Structure 1
Amino acid sequence: MGLRPLVACLPARLPTGRQEFATPHFSIHVATHAEPPQMVIRTLRALLDQDWPPERYEIIVMDNNTADPALWKPVESYCAAHPGRITFLHRMCVRGAKAGALNIALEHTRADATHVVTVDADYVVNRDFLRRASEALHRTGADYVQFPQSYVATATTAPGVDAELEEYFRTNAAVADDAEAVLLTGTLCVISKQALIAVGGWSGATTTEDAELGVRLRQAGFAGRFINQIVGKGLLPLSLRDLEKQRYRWCSGNVQTLLRHSWTILTPAGNFNLHKRLVILSQLTAWFSLAFVPCALLTVWLLAGQEHTPAATLAAGAIVLSLCDLTIRVALRGLHDRLTFSVVLRALACRIALAPQSAKATFDALTGCRLKFVVTDKSGDKAQATGSLPACHLMIFVTAVILLIGVQPTQPLILAALLALLLPLPAALLTDQSLRAYRAAVAPPLTEVSA
């Protein structure tokens, strides 16, 4: 909590950029796994329609570990209809999840490519995407640039969820750009092929291979910038459960990355000054939460009749501070961006609804639990089969009610902590309602038959 305002107060130190620049040749890598074929084809159509010379870019589709031919064969057929423009690869038994797939694509990148571009299978990029990428590389002189993630059809159906996800780019990524300490966030990143090869390519050691690569690129002395321009839009997770899985992966993967590179990030052994260390740490802990342990300890202490012990007070204080932290971050960003009260409230509800997963992800990563890369469902089929009442949130709610009624604590701080534990359930229901409306809005494009 103290780190974020400290980082925000540090002065910007923007680089001047390099003078020499050659027109880039792009190799666009689209990694897929069990994706709806019509969605992938829509992504490829947008990539083929770039206002960039066709001879200056290629597209590589790397489908990994998709067992059902009905999911990858239509994509293969579409790619075959564009020889020389798209290369389609299908591999089974690929290790390292998305990182492994991207490394295979890197091996098949043509020799004259200067930059690798990653685009998620659900992202439809603007026609000027590659031109803007070239301009950004020229203007900044950076070895890699990261564009923000953005989502279709959120203005009327899920503005709060969109605002909650956007907070990272509007706050953490923007501050990181000022310090020239930007980490990658996956899709819509453009990386010098020379730099990517120099640091050993992608790594499947963490579930956020993008952030982990960003740390290695910065440690090796390569410069990165955040370009705050919307150049493409993808799909939100189509259910609360999928949104939770996504947040769990982001949070746990970043904690893994922090632990893996703690020696270089936190000690003078790394090639970073203090400003960059703090900014990198701030990015990796954007969804960090240590509330799991205080919640468990407070429950145990109250059930044991130890309400007036320092331990119970400390645990309650940690829970209240966690709620204050996420509330202030979302509210301040909403005020800065002049969002309506309704949107800010829904964004706050989304952040609170995801807090249990952030807490669990942090705990699992810190305790060394084996983490698995989970692909976010984009078909909507699994979302319709999930229940509307999240079990984890219900358990927290019921526990808080039992403690309030059974123990009847009198300390204001403990009362505030228990009331805070009541919030995730209604917040989850509100967020789930938004995602249901969103799923209904984007369903036709997902189910349409490709020509």
Structure 2
Amino acid sequence: MRSSAMRTGSMGAAYDPTTCTRFRGTVSREGPLSALIAQLLVTALALAVAATASLFVGRAARPRLRNGYRALLGAGLAAGTALAGGALGGAGPWRSLVVATVLALAVAGFGPSARPWVLRGLLAWSLTVVAAAAYLASVALWIAESGLGPAALVGGALLWVLQLFLCLVALAQLWETVEALARWDWQRRGETDREVAAASGRRSGPFVSLHLPTHHEPPELVIETLRHLLELEYDDLEVLVVDHGTDDPELWRPVERFCRADERLGFFHLDDRPGHRSRALNVALEKVDPRTQLVGVLEAGLEVEPDFLSRCVPLFADEDLAFVQTSRDHRSWNLDPYFRGLDRFHAASCDVPQRSRNERDSAMFTGAMGLVSRDALVEAGGWDELCATEAPELGLRLLQAGWSGLHVDRSFGRWTMPPTFEALKRQRYRWCLGGVQVLRRHWRSLLPGSRTETNRLTPAQRWTHLAGGLRWFGDLAALLLTVLLLVGALDALAGDGRFVRRFGAPLLLGVFCVFLTWARSVALLRRTTGTGRRGALGAFGLSLALGWVGASASVRAALAREPLSLPTPEPNRAATWRASLRGNLVETGLAALCLAGGLAGLAAAATGSPTGLGVGLLLLAQGVAYAAAPLSSLAAARAELTPELRRLREMSPVRTRLAPGGRRRRVGPVLVAGAATVAVLLVGARAGAPPLGGPPGTRHDSAGTSAHVSAPALGPTPSVGSPLSPLSPLLTSRTTRTSPPATSVPVPGTTALARPTPTRTPTTPVALTSQPTPTLSPTRAHGRPTTLPTKPPRTKKPH
């Protein structure tokens, strides 16, 4: 019904009834459930941010209160703060009481699992989980009550699943932060340190076979490693060198001649498995001494300490222990600022998470400088030849079978760092590729459930491995955020800004969350690695520079159903800006797009659009992140090098070697196509909104533009480490029952086929491989059997 008077629309703006028609009953005030969820989200988020920030103040010390009393105290603090905040905000007493009750129950519920944490850690984790759940509930409620059509409902559901995934990624990152800063109980770490210290002076024991796979390595580097191994203070050992696929005899012939000089050394050359490390390890396993009880894995360039075996082998007195993994240091890490940052980056990404995982018997077996029981290895079926990171995959299979693993927080060897930034990218690509492959194959065994004969993982082991696998998708989440922001910048510059307006205030909150996450990462690096401000910034810059590598590897691993090839980019030997940009074309292009989009967003903000300011600042931040890649390449090219690093740089391969059965797959076009699809859908959603001046459900402002009167869109994709930034469904006081255009974001590579979990056979060992034995060139000073004798597995006491 029309009226000659101006009336107030559902969004608080006036509209002219002569030009706009309003349906009766389509606009209603916010329901009590939506208001309750909104208050719960805001309260939990504010308390979680405060608790997380408090973790960086002081050190975690043994608390005076017992765990149960700490949980009750934390529940009381959360409830009291929620009641006080509700009173100050003018919320109803019953609604504030419900919010306080939910927060108190959450803190008390997580109390038993957070026993090793101080109170600040319990509050940071439990309140963040509540905030994430409240956000997802608010989005689900909006989808259910918006009256969407079938197609729009499917799109909204897909976007909700995407946001659920991003929340899990952010929670996995937060878990590692809380474990590193809030844990006070390091019982297993202390016991292991005491056992290792007491094991000095032992020169005999279980026979150890050390395996050194090589591929296009400088012979002098391999020979130097062998010399260090011959100085080990342990008598019962052998060292097997397996060269796989090196086509230049001048590289492996000198190593073969060196191995002839000592009966403890053996050498094998494989011609038919180029670049296949796990196949080389399986061949070495077939050629071990019959007395072998333990198998060790090494890398070329390692300087192994003489007491490595004498201190670590006695740990296998525990019959249930399957593997021991030690820490590693870098050689010449203090030579240049670039290598100092690289050393700190590796320490933060490898050693720091291992300490907390070890306390829950969930340590990751990384391979090099590690020992594994031969019986456990044979029983598990040997090394997986279809996984880029065979050691972590084996470690997870051993834990599933009921074995135990141990991390020794002490370095017994120093290894050579990647000499170029391109070599670092290849290493990171392999690690991320393998991490996603492991998650894809074993994700079913990591879900909550009861323990079975084929899956004996405890709840703590399942969560830590699941969180570690999800962490590899952080770079992909940042890329998806970049695509959404670029579409928003394009709409703000060339369109009518309707898409940007739908983001609302959460964009400004997103700016705060991104920079807060960056500050948290730098502070965490300083706290956990003991480095200075410059070292922490250098390590953090390298983590940003490897963003595209992680995103492309995660997508590729999720899509591929066959062995994968590892790309080898051409190293930057020119040490010029041109070479750095040419070697990082994708990152440079993304940086240019983000910087241009950021300027467009700032230009829109200058015209009075506050959301344009949020888009602009977020895109500028993403542009800086991608620009870190060519900057790091230039820094690595200009870094001071030792002679061995210079030799490695000169020998850096420029060809791409394929794994067996692999085909070249270009991920760039896949991601570009996905980004284009997202852009088309989002722009189409904006274009599909009601036209200016016409149908019911629109309103006009004083400038004559119209906006659809409906519930806001689901908001932007949250940034990595901050799953709670998009709050747009909760920032509107009124909603409608009309159907807004659906916005769906396709996620490339989300469908993955899981590999069946290997089962543990108590009577007959699993064959190591079904493939024929490759052509070998053995050089041994003593005879060895060509096949591995089978042994019945040991009977272990139940866990």
- TM-score higher than 0.5: yes
Distance 2:456 2:259 in 1: 43
Distance 2:219 2:504 in 1: 53
2:521 corresponds in structure 1 to 329
Deviation at 1:201, TM superposition (A): 0.6
8 A Cα contact 1:298 1:312, kept in partner: no
Distance 1:298 1:335 in 2: 32
2:359 corresponds in structure 1 to 178
**What secondary structure is seen at the aligned counterpart in 2 of 1:154?**
coil
Superposition TM-score, scaled by structure 1 size: 0.87
Alignment equivalent of 1:417, drawn from 609, 618, 621: 618
Unaligned 5+ segments in structure 2 are: 1-169, 196-201, 606-610, 649-799
Superposed, which structure 2 residues align to 1:74-113 within 5 Å? 74-82=254-262, 84-94=263-273, 97-113=276-292
8 A Cα contact 2:507 2:614, kept in partner: no
Unaligned 5+ segments in structure 1 are: none
Distance 1:30 1:322 in 2: 43
Please say which of residues 410-419 and 353-362 is displaced more in the overlay: 410-419
1:271 corresponds in structure 2 to 456
Deviation at 1:234, TM superposition (A): 1.2
Cα 1:40–1:438 change in 2 (3 A) is farther
After superposition, the C-alpha distances for 1:7-39 in whole angstroms (9 at most, x for unaligned) are 626876749899xx9922110000111111111
2:299 corresponds in structure 1 to 120
Pairwise CA RMSD: 3.2
Alignment equivalent of 1:393, drawn from 587, 590, 594: 587
Distance 2:552 2:485 in 1: 16
1:215 corresponds in structure 2 to 396
Q: Which has the larger radius of gyration?
A: 2
Please say which of residues 227-236 and 425-434 is displaced more in the overlay: 425-434
Distance 2:386 2:589 in 1: 32
Cα 1:356–1:312 change in 2 (3 A) is farther
Deviation at 1:319, TM superposition (A): 9.2
Distance 1:48 1:100 in 2: 25
Deviation at 1:422, TM superposition (A): 1.9
User: Structure 2 counterpart of 1:417, which letter?
Assistant: L
Please say which of residues 294-303 and 218-227 is displaced more in the overlay: 294-303
Cα 1:402–1:445 change in 2 (3 A) is closer
Please say which of residues 412-421 and 43-52 is displaced more in the overlay: 412-421
Distance 1:413 1:186 in 2: 44
Deviation at 1:71, TM superposition (A): 1.2
1:148 corresponds in structure 2 to 327
Cα 1:173–1:310 change in 2 (3 A) is farther
Deviation at 1:371, TM superposition (A): 6.2
- Asked if 1:46 corresponds to 2:232, the answer is no
Identity %: 26
Deviation at 1:313, TM superposition (A): 8.5
- Asked if 1:292 corresponds to 2:487, the answer is no
2:154 corresponds in structure 1 to none
Deviation at 1:442, TM superposition (A): 4.2
Distance 2:219 2:514 in 1: 41
Deviation at 1:288, TM superposition (A): 2.9
User: Structure 2 counterpart of 1:105, which letter?
Assistant: A
Distance 1:28 1:145 in 2: 14
Deviation at 1:138, TM superposition (A): 4.5
8 A Cα contact 1:291 1:319, kept in partner: no
Please say which of residues 401-410 and 191-200 is displaced more in the overlay: 401-410
After superposition, the C-alpha distances for 1:140-172 in whole angstroms (9 at most, x for unaligned) are 973211112321001231111110111123321
8 A Cα contact 1:247 1:354, kept in partner: yes
Distance 1:128 1:313 in 2: 59
Superposed, which structure 2 residues align to 1:238-317 within 5 Å? 238-268=419-449, 270-289=455-474, 290-304=477-491, 305=495, 307-308=499-500, 310=502
Alignment equivalent of 1:355, drawn from 527, 531, 547: 547
**What secondary structure is seen at the aligned counterpart in 1 of 2:310?**
helix
- Asked if 1:131 corresponds to 2:310, the answer is yes
**What secondary structure is seen at the aligned counterpart in 1 of 2:321?**
coil
Please say which of residues 333-342 and 96-105 is displaced more in the overlay: 333-342
After superposition, the C-alpha distances for 1:368-405 in whole angstroms (9 at most, x for unaligned) are 3766353989xxx9452682222122111210122133
Distance 1:89 1:424 in 2: 44
- Asked if 1:204 corresponds to 2:398, the answer is no
Distance 1:316 1:116 in 2: 54
**What secondary structure is seen at the aligned counterpart in 1 of 2:573?**
helix
After superposition, the C-alpha distances for 1:298-324 in whole angstroms (9 at most, x for unaligned) are 323432445425479889988986775
1:67 corresponds in structure 2 to 247
- Asked if 1:194 corresponds to 2:385, the answer is no
Deviation at 1:433, TM superposition (A): 4.5
Deviation at 1:180, TM superposition (A): 0.7
**What secondary structure is seen at the aligned counterpart in 2 of 1:90?**
strand
**What secondary structure is seen at the aligned counterpart in 2 of 1:308?**
helix
